[in-house]
C-alpha cells in the first residue's frame, strides 16, 4: 500500500474506468420513484445569529461538506419550509418558523465559517447561524409539505440511470462503477464524515456521524424534530456502565435490538444516517476517566460479552443485510481524556493481548462489526489513525476485518492531531497522507480535504483513495442505502414502543446496586412512612440522569416526581447543594426541610460537570459539601437512604462509616425512567441485584497511581489496575452487590479434577480452529432463595491459578449469568460456560497460553462455592498477535517523528 508511485496509481485508476465502461454496456431500466424535479429557491438573507442551543430552526437537518446557502435554501424550500439556516459550516437547518427566543443577532463577521466548496460565501460558524427566509417554498409553507423520508438512492433520478443502480451486476461491480465515475475532487469530498455525494451524478450527500451509545443520540447526522412531531424522540436507555452492572447479556442484546431498530427508523425517516458510532468499548481502566460512563466497566471479559451482544443487536443477524452499521470505538488503548489529542501510550504486548485489544478482536472476529474508529492517542509511538500495525497487521490481516465492505473511521479531528498535537508529521497534508495510507478510510474532520495536494506530491495514490471509497459505498450497500432492504419499512411507529419503554425501565432497575443496608431496605410497597424528605442535587434530575451521548426521550421521570406520586407520602423537597458546590449555600435550608421527616432520601453523587468527554476527574472523594449535607441530615436521626448517581465510583467510606446512614444504593445514569425504577427498587417492588462493574477505590488511589501509566500490573508508578492487579484494599470490590434476601448454593456440574493440556487441545480441535472461544467445559450450580424476598441473582465465576508469568493476577472473571425472580424458598440453576480463553494468559510476546498448574474456581467475591483442578503437560499457545507489537520502522511516504510515551498531557 505504501510507496506506490503516482503514475502506477493513475494507470490503475484508468484501468478501473475502462472496466466500468465495459460494465456500462449492460442494459437496464432506470426506475425512479423520487427527486429529479428542478426547484430553485429564492431567498432573503436575514442575518447572522448566535445560536447557543441550536434552536432557531429544528424541523429538518442536512449535513454535508458541500454546504452553501443555495444548497441549504433549495433543500429547505423543496420540502416546504420557509426558513433555512447554516450552522457549523456544514449543517443546514429548516423550519416553518424561526425561534428567536434563545438567539441573538450579531454582526455578519461572526458567521466566519467559509463554505468549503465556495469560500466566497459564509456558512455560519460554531453555534452561529446564517439565517435565510425562503420566499418560494414548495407546498404549504406553514407545515412543510414534502416528505423528508429517505428514498433508496437508486430510486432517485438521475443516479438511477447509472451502472451503480444496475441490479444485474454484482455489488462489487456496481460500487466500482460509481467510484470510477467520481471526479477527483468529488472523491476527496466523500472521504470526510460530512460527505458531499455528487450533484452531478445524483448521489446524495451523507453524514457518517451518528450516535447510539445508549439510544439514538444527538450528532451532526441526527435530527430530533420539534416535540410532538414524528422523530421528536427516541428511547433513552441507561448509560452503559449501569446496564453493565446488571450482568445480563440478554438485556444488552435486547437494548441493542431496540436502539438498532430506532436508529434505522430515524434513517428511513430522513432524520439520521444508517451508521452509528457505538459502542464505546474501551475498558474502564482508570477510575478517573471521564468517559467510563459510556463503557461496560473495567473487566475485559465482561466488555467482550457486552460487545458480542450489543453489536449484533444493533446490526441484526445478517452482516450482508444490516439494520444499521455499528462502530467499535476507540481503537486502541484509549481511556484518558487529559491530553488525549497528543498522548502516546506504549503498553506491553502482554497487556495489548490480555486487555487493550481483546474486545476489539471480539468486535471484529465474533460480532462482525461494520466499522472501527481509530482513536486520538498514539500507540507505540504511532498515532492510532496512522498506525499500520493496528489498522493493517492486526485489524485486517490478523483478525480478518472485511477488506471490501468494512471501513475505518477516524475519531473527530484525530487526523489533524497527527500533525497538530502528536507532531508525527511536519504538515497537515502529510498527516492526511499517513492516515489514509495506514488504513483510515474516512475522516471525521477536514484534513482529508488536503488530499489533492497529497496526491500531487506523490504522498498518496488514487488507488488507495478508490479502495477507501469502495469500502464506504460497499458498506452502504449492506444497509440498503442504494436499493433498500428488509429494514426499509421501519418508521416512527417503531420508535419508543411500549416494549421499548418497558425495557428502558427494566435496564434501569436491573443495574442498580446495593452497597450497604442496615435493614432499612426494602421499604415495602405498603409502609408506615408519611413525611418523606427528598434531598440533593439529583432529587429532581431529568436530563442529568441520561449521562453523555444522549438523545431526546419521550419523557424523563425524575426521582422527585416518582416519590410525589407514591401513595401515602407527603414529600418535602430541597436541592441542598450543587454537585460540586464551592460553598454551603442551601445546606441549612435542606436540613430544615428534613427536620420533620420520618424518612430521608438523599440523592447525589457526580454528573457531567465532573466526568465527561474531555474531563477526567482529579479526585475520587465524594464532593465535600455533599458530604457535609449528608452528615447534617444523618444527625436528624431519621431513617436515611443515600443514593449515589454517576458513572465513576466515589469513595463512600465516610458515608459507610456514618451510623446515621442506613442504606446506600448506586444508581449510575438510569435515564428516562430513573425515578420510577429507583422508587420501585427502594420499595422492593423490584429486587436489587446489580454488581459493581468497576472497583470502588479509596480516595488515596488518585495519589498513588499515575493516570498516564498504561501498565496494568503494579509498579513504581501504580498500585495496579483493576481488581485483577490492584494491590490495595478496595472500598467495595469489583462485582460487589448486596440483596434484600439470602441464598444458599450447591455445585451441580463441575470440571474434572485433572486435564492433560495436550489431550485437551487435541479434543478441542475436533470442533474447529483453536482460539479463546473454544469451549472447555460448563459449570452449573443451584441457587436457592433462603430469605424473605423474591430476588434476581447474578452469579460471578472467578478463576485463580498459580501458573503463568509473574506477577499473577488476583483472580479473573471467567463466566457469569443472571437468574430472574427466584421466589422465597425457590431455586434456579446457574449455567456458567468456560472456554480455553478462561484458562489462558498472555505471555511476554502477546501469545495467549494455557499453562500447566493448579486452578481454582470461586463463585462470587466471597467464594461461596469453590472447586480446584489441575492442568498438566506442556503449555499450549491458543492465539497470537502479529510481529509481537509495532515494528520499529515503517515505509512512510513522508518524514515522520516517532513519539515517546507520555507521562504528562501533550494537548
Can you tell me the distance from the alpha carbon of 314 to that of 523, in angstroms, rounded to the nearest whole number?
38
- Can you tell me which residue has the cell 476517566? 289
Helix residue ranges, H only, 4-123: 6-23, 69-78
Can you tell me the distance from the alpha carbon of 168 to that of 26, in angstroms, rounded to the nearest whole number?
8
State yes or no: is 860 an active-site residue.
no
Can you tell me the distance from the alpha carbon of 883 to that of 362, in angstroms, rounded to the nearest whole number?
20
Look up residue 265 and give its three cell numbers. Answer: 427508523
Counting runs of H as helices and runs of E as strands, what totals does the chain give? 24, 33
DSSP characters over 640-703: EEEEEESSS--B-HHHHT-TT--EEEEEE--GGGHHHHHHHHHHTSS------SS-B--TTHHH
Query: Which residues face 813 on adjacent strands?
Result: 798
- What phi and psi values does residue 120 have, to the nearest 5 degrees? -75, -15
- Can you tell me which residue has the cell 458541500? 66
Which own/partner contact pairs does 113-120 have at CB distance under 8 Å and 24+ positions apart? 113/88, 113/89, 114/89, 115/67, 115/68, 115/69, 115/89, 116/65, 116/66, 116/67, 116/89, 116/90, 116/189, 116/446, 116/449, 117/65, 117/66, 117/67, 117/68, 117/189, 117/196, 118/68
- Can you tell me which residue has the cell 441520561? 546
Q: Taking the alpha carbons of 36, 41, 47, 49 in that order, is the dihedral positive or negative?
A: negative
Look up residue 468 and give its three cell numbers. Answer: 477507501
- How many CB atoms sit inside 10 A of residue 856's CB? 15
- How many CB atoms sit inside 10 A of residue 653's CB? 15
Look up residue 857 and give its three cell numbers. Answer: 474456581
Can you tell me the distance from the alpha carbon of 636 to that of 278, in angstroms, rounded to the nearest whole number?
46
Closest C-alpha to 306, from 214, 399, 391, 211: 214
Can you tell me the distance from the alpha carbon of 729 to that of 890, in angstroms, rounded to the nearest whole number?
44
Longest Cα–Cα distance of the chain, Å, equals 87
Can you tell me the distance from the alpha carbon of 766 to that of 769, in angstroms, rounded to the nearest whole number?
8
* Coil, helix or strand at residue 128: strand
Closest C-alpha to 281, from 359, 179, 222: 359
Closest C-alpha to 132, from 174, 71, 200, 180: 71
Can you tell me the distance from the alpha carbon of 112 to that of 585, in angstroms, rounded to the nearest whole number?
42
DSSP classification of residue 508: H
- CB crowding 38-70: b at 16 or more within 10 Å, else e: eeebebeebebbbbeebbbbbbbbbbbbbbbbe
**Among residues 193, 275, 411, 680, which one is catalytic?**
411
Q: Active-site positions? A: 411
Amino acid at each position: 500500500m505504501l510507496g506506490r508511485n503516482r503514475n502506477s496509481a493513475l494507470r490503475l485508476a484508468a484501468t478501473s474506468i475502462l472496466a466500468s465502461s465495459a460494465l456500462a454496456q449492460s442494459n437496464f431500466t432506470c426506475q425512479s420513484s423520487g427527486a429529479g424535479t428542478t426547484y430553485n429557491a429564492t431567498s432573503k438573507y436575514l442575518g447572522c445569529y448566535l445560536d447557543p442551543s441550536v434552536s432557531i430552526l429544528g424541523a429538518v437537518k442536512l449535513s454535508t461538506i458541500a454546504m452553501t446557502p443555495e444548497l441549504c435554501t433549495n433543500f429547505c424550500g423543496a420540502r416546504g419550509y420557509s426558513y433555512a439556516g447554516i450552522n457549523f459550516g456544514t449543517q443546514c437547518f429548516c423550519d416553518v418558523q424561526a425561534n428567536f427566543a434563545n438567539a441573538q443577532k450579531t454582526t455578519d463577521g461572526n458567521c466566519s465559517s467559509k463554505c468549503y466548496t465556495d469560500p466566497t460565501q459564509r456558512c455560519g460558524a460554531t453555534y452561529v447561524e446564517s439565517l435565510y427566509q425562503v420566499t418560494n417554498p414548495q407546498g404549504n409553507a406553514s407545515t412543510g409539505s414534502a416528505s423528508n423520508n429517505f428514498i433508496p438512492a437508486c430510486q432517485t433520478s438521475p443516479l438511477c440511470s447509472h451502472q451503480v443502480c444496475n441490479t444485474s451486476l454484482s455489488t462489487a461491480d456496481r460500487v466500482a462503477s460509481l467510484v470510477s465515475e467520481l471526479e477527483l475532487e468529488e472523491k476527496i469530498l466523500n472521504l470526510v464524515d460530512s460527505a458531499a455525494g455528487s450533484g452531478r451524478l445524483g448521489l446524495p450527500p451523507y453524514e457518517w456521524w451518528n450516535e447510539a451509545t445508549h439510544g439514538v443520540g444527538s450528532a451532526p447526522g441526527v435530527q430530533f424534530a420539534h416535540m410532538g412531531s414524528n422523530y421528536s424522540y427516541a428511547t433513552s436507555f441507561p448509560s452503559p456502565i449501569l446496564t453493565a452492572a446488571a450482568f445480563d447479556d440478554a438485556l444488552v442484546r435486547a437494548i441493542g435490538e431496540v436502539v438498532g431498530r430506532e436508529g434505522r427508523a430515524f434513517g428511513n425517516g430522513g432524520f439520521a444516517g444508517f451508521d452509528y458510532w457505538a459502542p464505546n468499548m474501551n475498558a474502564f481502566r482508570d477510575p478517573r476517566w471521564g468517559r467510563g460512563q459510556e463503557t461496560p466497566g473495567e473487566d475485559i471479559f465482561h466488555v467482550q460479552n457486552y460487545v458480542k451482544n450489543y453489536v449484533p443487536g444493533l446490526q441484526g443477524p445478517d452482516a450482508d443485510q444490516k439494520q444499521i452499521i455499528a462502530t467499535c470505538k476507540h481503537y486502541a488503548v484509549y481511556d484518558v481524556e487529559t491530553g488525549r489529542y497528543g498522548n502516546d501510550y506504549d503498553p506491553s504486548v502482554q497487556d495489548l493481548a490480555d486487555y487493550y485489544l481483546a474486545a476489539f478482536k471480539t468486535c471484529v472476529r465474533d460480532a462482525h462489526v461494520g466499522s472501527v474508529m481509530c482513536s486520538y492517542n498514539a500507540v507505540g509511538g504511532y498515532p492510532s489513525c496512522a498506525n499500520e500495525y493496528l489498522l493493517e497487521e492486526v485489524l485486517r490481516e490478523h483478525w480478518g476485518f472485511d477488506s471490501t465492505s468494512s471501513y475505518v473511521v477516524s475519531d473527530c479531528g484525530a487526523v489533524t492531531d497527527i500533525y497538530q498535537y502528536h507532531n508525527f508529521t511536519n504538515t497537515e497534508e502529510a498527516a492526511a497522507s499517513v492516515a489514509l495510507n495506514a488504513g483510515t478510510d474516512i475522516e471525521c474532520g477536514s484534513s482529508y480535504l488536503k488530499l489533492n495536494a497529497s496526491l500531487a506530491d506523490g504522498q498518496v495514490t488514487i488507488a488507495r483513495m478508490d479502495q477507501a471509497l469502495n469500502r464506504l459505498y460497499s458498506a452502504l450497500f449492506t444497509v440498503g442505502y442504494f436499493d433498500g432492504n428488509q429494514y426499509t419499512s421501519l418508521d416512527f411507529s417503531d420508535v419508543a414502543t411500549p416494549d421499548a419503554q418497558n425495557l428502558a425501565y427494566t435496564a434501569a432497575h436491573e443495574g442498580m446496586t446495593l452497597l450497604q443496608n442496615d435493614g432499612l431496605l426494602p421499604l415495602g410497597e405498603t409502609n408506615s412512612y408519611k413525611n418523606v424528605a427528598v434531598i440533593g442535587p439529583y432529587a429532581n434530575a431529568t436530563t442529568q440522569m441520561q449521562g453523555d451521548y444522549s438523545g431526546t426521550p419521550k419523557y424523563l421521570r425524575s426521582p422527585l416526581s416518582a416519590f410525589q406520586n407514591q401513595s401515602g407520602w407527603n414529600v418535602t423537597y430541597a436541592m441542598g447543594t450543587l454537585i460540586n458546590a464551592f460553598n454551603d449555600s442551601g445546606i441549612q435550608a435542606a436540613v430544615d426541610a428534613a427536620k420533620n421527616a420520618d424518612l430521608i432520601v438523599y440523592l447525589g453523587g457526580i454528573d457531567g460537570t465532573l466526568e465527561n468527554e474531555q474531563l477526567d476527574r482529579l479526585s475520587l472523594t465524594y464532593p465535600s459539601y455533599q458530604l457535609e449535607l449528608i452528615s447534617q441530615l444523618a444527625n436528624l436521626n431519621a431513617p436515611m437512604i443515600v443514593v449515589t448517581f454517576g458513572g465513576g465510583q466515589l469513595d463512600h467510606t465516610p458515608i459507610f462509616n456514618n451510623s446515621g446512614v442506613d442504606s446506600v444504593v448506586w444508581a449510575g445514569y438510569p435515564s428516562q425512567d430513573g425515578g420510577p425504577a429507583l422508587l420501585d427498587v427502594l420499595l422492593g417492588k423490584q429486587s436489587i441485584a446489580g454488581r459493581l462493574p468497576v472497583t470502588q477505590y479509596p480516595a488515596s488511589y488518585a495519589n498513588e497511581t499515575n493516570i498516564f501509566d498504561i501498565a496494568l500490573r503494579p509498579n513504581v508508578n501504580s498500585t495496579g489496575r483493576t481488581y485483577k492487579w490492584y494491590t490495595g484494599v478496595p472500598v467495595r470490590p469489583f462485582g460487589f452487590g448486596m440483596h434484600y434476601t439470602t441464598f444458599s448454593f450447591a455445585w451441580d456440574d463441575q470440571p474434572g479434577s485433572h486435564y492433560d493440556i495436550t489431550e485437551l487441545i487435541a479434543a478441542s480441535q475436533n470442533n474447529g480452529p483453536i482460539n479463546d472461544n473454544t469451549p472447555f467445559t460448563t459449570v452449573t450450580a443451584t441457587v436457592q432463595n433462603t430469605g424473605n424476598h423474591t430476588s434476581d441473582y447474578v452469579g460471578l465465576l472467578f478463576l485463580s491459578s498459580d501458573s503463568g508469568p509473574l506477577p499473577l493476577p488476583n483472580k479473573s472473571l471467567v463466566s457469569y449469568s443472571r437468574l430472574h425472580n427466584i421466589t422465597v424458598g425457590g431455586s434456579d440453576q446457574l449455567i456458567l460456560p468456560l472456554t480455553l480463553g478462561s484458562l489462558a494468559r498472555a505471555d511476554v510476546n502477546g501469545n495467549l497460553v494455557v499453562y500447566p498448574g493448579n486452578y481454582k474456581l470461586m463463585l462470587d467475591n466471597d467464594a461461596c462455592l469453590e472447586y480446584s483442578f489441575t492442568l498438566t503437560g506442556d503449555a499450549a499457545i491458543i492465539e497470537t498477535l502479529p510481529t509481537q507489537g509495532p515494528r520499529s520502522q515503517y515505509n512512510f511516504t513522508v518524514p515522520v517523528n516517532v513519539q515517546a510515551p507520555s507521562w504528562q498531557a501533550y494537548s
